[in-house]
Amino acid sequence: MTIETGEREAATRSRPRETRVGVLRVPDWPVVVARRTGALPAGGEAGAPGAVVHALRVVACDAGARADGVRAGMRVRDAQAASPMLALAPADPVGEALAFEQVVRAVLAVVPAAQSIGDGGLAFRMRGATRFYGSEPRAVGAVRDALAGLGLTAAFGVADDRFTAELAATAGAAAGAGETIVPPGRSAEFLAPLPVGVLGDDELPSMLHRLGVHTLGGFARLPDASIRDRFGQAGLVALARARGLDDRRIDDAGLGEERVLRLAFEPGLEGVAELALAVREPVERFVRQLAEQRLVCSELRIVLRGEEGRVSERLWRQPGFLRAGDIVDRMRWQLTESDLGSALVEVQALPERLDAATEHMPGLWGGTGIDDRTRHALERLQSKLGREAVLTAATGGGRLLAERGVLTPWGDAAPPQPAGPWPGALPAPRPSVVFRPPLPVLLTDAAGAAVEPGALDERAASPAVFSPPAAARRRVVAWAGPWPIRRRELGTTVHRLQLLDGEGEAWVLLHADGAWVAEGRYA
């Protein structure tokens, strides 16, 4: 599919970039690999639908499974209920990465530079290929023919930058046309109607929804200063991508092996201490090699593989960039938190984002927007006390107060928060003190009997005495509620009550499982 240009003047308003980017994506790549290795039976019209799973959730599925209602992220038992004939295979990210190197080599035979971008995707430069083959559609056709020799089909996208090209490839796959070519200078126009959720699985899209910004076009119109103040450097990176100005480069080095760290251990490693000793020197050499190219890594994917085949894969981010010690620490933490069930036999460190070192150098008057002394102090505390001992707070979504504040280990990206609205959530101003977990309290009427939400709702009873946590009984001066909060995911209903006691303190109480608990206090 090719996007038509409309009027010629509109197409030439923006100066085309010197380098165009193509992206191909092999649909359902994990399923393709599982079928070729025999982990899944053969598919097709007569074959069973297939899916690849990890941690009891579907990672990828084929068209037959999607026709039955199976989707990525679905729990395995729900997927099997939707598709009783569904065949399952465990995820194998290491095997998928090794198998994809054949795709990279086939594409490099017809284009000058290509780089794997994960999940069955490959980015490649269009400039040289377009000159050689005469046009972008012909260059895409040459790459398609190279994949046909491997028995593979792919969706293609071509644009001025990698982010737009990736979304163009997704659009081509969804339309069934196979390719989408965004004309030069039209990336922003192509991106404008797309939802902000395509920016990634982090807190930014959720926050934008709360601000009333739902499309990339609306996001792109926001001023840089406001985005920098509210979301920091990560927000500015996302803003540039929404404007069609993604600056990620495509490596000239083919497979880019010097920018990927792979370590194999024979015999396997049994503990965290052994891992730290084994990887420290290779990691330091790996970081030095990046530094020699004036590059630093700000996002890193770490893959651990156990002797029995279990795999742990995780994406790590950190304010600023990852130093050698940071990478070693994250390997140790990931091994501690993973359940490989056997000795560790392979470690991979795959940079997801490489920045120019100049972007993280101190400014003329010192500082880069990040307080280095604060960062070093937090990292030192984390190395001594453990990763979970140093937390940062971010605004989350939910009906209960404890769900509104998300605590994340320092250096980790906050988990994605589902978008609202949240019926039953407490409106502002909210209590400044939130109890994690809620603390048990007593609430009785004038006769000393326990007060039930149903009686309060019908005004058949009134709270008179309140016993806060670890304090003497107090009289109830005023109260409001109760308000029911129905939680479909738990199949329960809790009731919220606000009250003011005789000491002048205001409380938020919850009634759940037949008892009252203090959810928060206004200080």
Token look-up 């010629």 returns 8
Whole-number pLDDT of residue 75: 92
Give the pLDDT of residue 227.
Answer: 87
Sign of CA dihedral 69, 75, 76, 81: negative
- When mean pLDDT is compared across 238-242, 373-377, 380-384, 385-389, the lowest value belongs to 373-377
Tell me the CATH class for 40-91: alpha beta
pLDDT at 365: 44
Cis peptide before 437 (omega within 30 of 0): yes
Per-residue model confidence (pLDDT) at position 134: 87
Could you tell me which residue, 411 or 237, shows the higher pLDDT? 237
CATH number of 257-359: 3.30.1490.100
Q: What is the spatial distance between Cα 153 and Cα 447, in angstroms, rounded to a whole number?
A: 76
Where do the CATH 3.30.1490.100 domains begin and end in the chain? Answer: 257-359
* pLDDT tier for residue 158 given thresholds of 50, 70 and 90: very high
Q: CATH 3.40.1170.60 occupies which residues in the chain?
A: 40-91
In whole angstroms, give the CA distance from residue 464 to residue 445: 5
Q: pLDDT by residue (tens digit) across 472-503?
A: 888 888 888 788 877 655 457 788 888 888 88
Stated pTM of the model: 0.50
Could you read off the pLDDT of 176-201 as tens digits, one per residue? 657 889 999 999 999 999 999 888 76
- Residue count (the chain): 523
- The pair of structure tokens assigned to 73 is 């992220």
Measure the CA–CA gap between 475 and 501, rounded to whole angstroms: 6
Residue 451 pLDDT > 50, yes or no? yes
Between CA 97 and CA 104 the distance in angstroms is 10
Q: What is the DSSP letter of 473?
A: -
Residue with tokens 């991508």: 241
469: exposed, middle or buried (C-beta count within 10 Å: 0-12, 13-18, 19+)?
middle
Q: What's the confidence (pLDDT) of residue 417? A: 62
Mean pLDDT of the region 380-389: 72
Contact 439, 469 (CB under 8 A): yes
What's the rounded Cα separation, in Å, for the pair 312 and 310? 7
> Look-up: residue for tokens 């100005």?
245
Check residue 17 and give its pLDDT: 44
- Residues 274-315 pLDDT 10s: 888 888 888 998 888 888 877 888 888 888 888 877 788 888
What is the rounded distance in angstroms from the CA atom of residue 444 to the CA atom of residue 452? Answer: 9
- What does the DSSP assignment read for 322-361? --HHHHHHHHHHHHHH----S-EEEEEEEEEEEEEGGGGS
The structure tokens 């109890």 sit at 435
Mean pLDDT, the chain, whole residue set: 80
CA separation (Å) from 355 to 109, 316, 375? Answer: 28, 15, 19
Quote the pLDDT of residue 253. Answer: 40
User: Which residues lie across from 409 on neighbouring strands?
Assistant: 391
- Beta strand 391-395 with 344-356 is unpaired
Could you read off the pLDDT of 230-276 as tens digits, one per residue? 887 788 889 999 999 888 777 544 334 456 788 888 888 888 888 88
Q: Check residue 319 and give its pLDDT.
A: 66
pLDDT tens by residue, 32-72: 999 888 888 876 555 688 999 988 899 899 888 998 999 98
Q: For residue range 88-140, list pLDDT tens digits in order.
A: 999 887 778 778 888 888 888 888 778 888 788 889 888 888 888 889 999 99
Residue corresponding to tokens 């530079």:
113
